[in-house]
């Protein structure tokens, strides 16, 4: 690290759990972030500010006026611009040292499988179940840690599925697929703006912990937030013996 980096990251370096070595590990790391909306914005901002060296961000949407109530990586001047381009501009202004790969495309499983190969952690900040299931399957195949988050109305949830090992549950154990019935997109649901910030920041924290190999992550636990009472609950997740993704060797493309 040069002198500027030592200054930029000094408050991380002061933490004994991180130090120069941990910060250098962050600079070398690569995170795949799926979604540059409500959750993806705070995740991207904190990972970039923290010095995660390589950030691949995918999102097929353009910035819309209805996004600006909560998607803080974007602004009014960027309406109509691809969200990934807008996010890249914002991140560059915070930390020009981060290599941001902005992919303005809707992700399918095959594409995610390519992209996940080079990632140390995959962050699911998407807004629909088909993408969440695809990310889970891809992380299973590639054996990548998955940091999953979701927010609807006043409720938020975060979980980590560390699919580098096979003993733990996966996202599909928690939410067995039930077709499009479960597809509750933010596009049609209300979302209390700060909830995406809170949950996205938890996702960013868990991602950094995995990259640094410090503390205990939410692996195998589901953290639930009721934003109206501001009460948090943690539920221990069990592997579903009937799970078609992580139990049986049926994962094919
Ligand atoms: Zn499973």
DSSP 124-189: E--SSHHHHHHHHHHHHHHT-EEEEEEEEBTEEEEEEEETTSSSS--HHHHS--BTBTT---TTTS
Ligand 1 geometric centre to CA of 146 (Å): 13
More confident residue, 247 or 252: 247
From the candidates 186, 201, 243, 246, give the one annotated as an active-site residue. 186
Token pair of 243, please? 């799970």
Enter the CATH code of domain 20-236. Answer: 3.40.50.720
pLDDT reported for residue 188:
75
Cα(243) to centroid(ligand 1), Å: 5
201 counts as catalytic: no
Q: Does residue 135 register a pLDDT over 90?
A: yes
Residues 6+ apart with CB under 8 A from 125: 33, 34, 35, 36, 37, 38, 39, 40, 43, 149, 200, 203
- pLDDT 10s digits, 179-198: 555 555 556 789 999 999 99
Where along the chain do its domains lie?
A: 20-236
Neighbours of 153 (CB within 10 A): 14
pLDDT tens profile 103-125: 999 999 999 999 999 999 999 99
């Amino acid at each position: 690290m040069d002198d500027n980096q030592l200054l930029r990251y000094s408050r991380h370096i002061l933490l004994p759990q991180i130090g120069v070595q941990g910060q250098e590990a962050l600079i070398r790391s690569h995170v795949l972030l799926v979604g540059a909306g409500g959750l993806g914005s705070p995740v991207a901002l904190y990972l970039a500010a923290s010095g995660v060296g390589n950030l691949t961000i995918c999102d097929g949407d353009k910035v819309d006026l209805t996004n600006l109530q909560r998607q803080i990586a974007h602004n009014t001047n960027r309406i109509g611009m691809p969200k990934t381009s807008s996010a890249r501009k914002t991140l560059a202004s915070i930390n020009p040292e981060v290599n941001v790969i902005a992919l303005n495309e809707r992700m399918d499983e095959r594409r995610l499988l390519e992209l996940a190969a080079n990632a140390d952690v995959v962050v699911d900040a998407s807004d629909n179940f088909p993408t969440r299931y695809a990310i889970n399957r891809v992380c299973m195949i590639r054996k990548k840690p998955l940091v999953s988050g979701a927010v609807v109305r006043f409720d938020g949830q975060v979980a980590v599925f560390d699919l580098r090992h096979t003993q733990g549950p996966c996202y599909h154990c928690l939410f067995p697929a039930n077709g499009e019935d479960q597809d509750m997109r933010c596009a049609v649901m209300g979302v209390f703006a700060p909830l995406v910030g809170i949950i996205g920041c938890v996702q960013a924290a868990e991602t950094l912990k995995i990259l640094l190999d410090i503390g205990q992550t939410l692996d195998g636990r589901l953290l639930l937030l009721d934003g109206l009472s501001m009460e948090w609950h943690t539920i221990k997740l069990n592997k579903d013996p009937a799970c078609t993704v992580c139990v049986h060797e049926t994962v094919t493309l």
